[in-house]
Amino acid sequence: MELYFLGTNAGVPTLQRNVTSIALRLLEERRSIWMFDCGEGTQHQVLRSPIRLGKLEKIFITHLHGDHLFGLPGLLSSRGYQGGTSPLTVYGPPGLKAYLDISLAVSQSRIPYKIEIVEHTGGTVFEDEGFKVEAALLEHRIDSYGYRVTEKDSPGSLNTELLKSYGLKPGPIYGKLKKGEDVITDEGVRICAADVVREPKRGRIVTILGDTRPCSGALELSLHADLIVHEATFAHDLAEMAHQYHHSTARQAAELAQEADAGQLLLTHFSSRYSSFEELIPLLEEAELIFPETLLAEEFSAYPIYRRQNGQLGK
């Protein structure tokens, strides 16, 4: 489970950075990829990355500003040409369906797979036996949503060494114990599942926020997350401008991560005024003063999502 950044710039692309798009790689967990936002040029970024559109299962759009949306019609079309045949679901605010229907119809795009478009206004937007995705409204110039992806806890593993001491070999009894059922061996020995099954493995939580000022919705989605992706459009010396344009500073992102008791913070969505990566270092430094576990997102870079153990990051 890791994040891969395809675009980290705000507003418009530059020669150094493309506009927003993030891939959540769930190759071990469900052999698929989820994408969050799809700014113009995302399909070109994909070609330069290890991302394979045939594995793309879901796309979550935070809001309908062009730097988060204009790449979607092209990417959906390219997916078909790159061998994508499995169904794809796109989630986003009201208006998303009209945008895609018109774009694909007018361009006569051929989509050789089923697309489901799910418009929402927050709440639980997806859930199955492995994952739950919740959305909440943020504070931006138009309706903008953040997403909280929760990996559900996995059952604890069997203590096979202890089972061997009972003379048991892998088989149906192992399966019953794994399900939490107590068993009685052929020798009449009762084995309690609680004694031979280890603690469940806690699922990870990753929060990916759309464009926003500091707000209660961002905190709600971020509480106790293992990793938060937060916009840092400006350094804090431009806090007044950030507020005026409904954005956040790096320091404000760090304050949220601290209040949310998060494990790690990834900053992205940087203003074009910071043209080089070196010019982003002051944003990182101001955030680290408040929340040390902060990183700057770099394009074409992967960031594993670690679960915290006893308050510390661990694999």
Report in angstroms the alpha-carbon separations of 224 from 203, 256, 258, 303, 304.
Answer: 12, 11, 10, 18, 17
Q: Is 67 annotated as a binding residue?
A: yes
Domain boundaries, the chain: 2-153+205-314, 160-196
The per-residue pLDDT for 314 is 57
The per-residue pLDDT for 47 is 95
Q: Is 269 annotated as a binding residue?
A: yes
Distance in angstroms (rounded) separating the CA atoms of residues 197 and 160: 9
Q: With a cut of 70, which residues of the chain have pLDDT below it?
A: 309-315
The per-residue pLDDT for 313 is 59
**Model pTM score:** 0.89
Q: Is 65 annotated as a binding residue?
A: yes
Q: Is 67 a catalytic residue?
A: yes
- CATH homologous superfamily of 2-153+205-314 equals Ribonuclease Z/Hydroxyacylglutathione hydrolase-like (3.60.15.10)
| Residue tagged active-site, from 67, 143, 186, 195 | 67
Q: How is residue 33 written in tokens?
A: 């990829």
Q: Is 140 annotated as a binding residue?
A: yes
Q: Is 236 annotated as a binding residue?
A: no
CA proximity to 305, closest of 52, 34, 18, 17: 34
Instruction: Give the pairing type, strands 302-304 and 2-7.
Output: antiparallel
The per-residue pLDDT for 310 is 56
Give the Cβ contact number of residue 190 at 10 Å: 9
The per-residue pLDDT for 241 is 97
Q: Is 120 annotated as a binding residue?
A: no
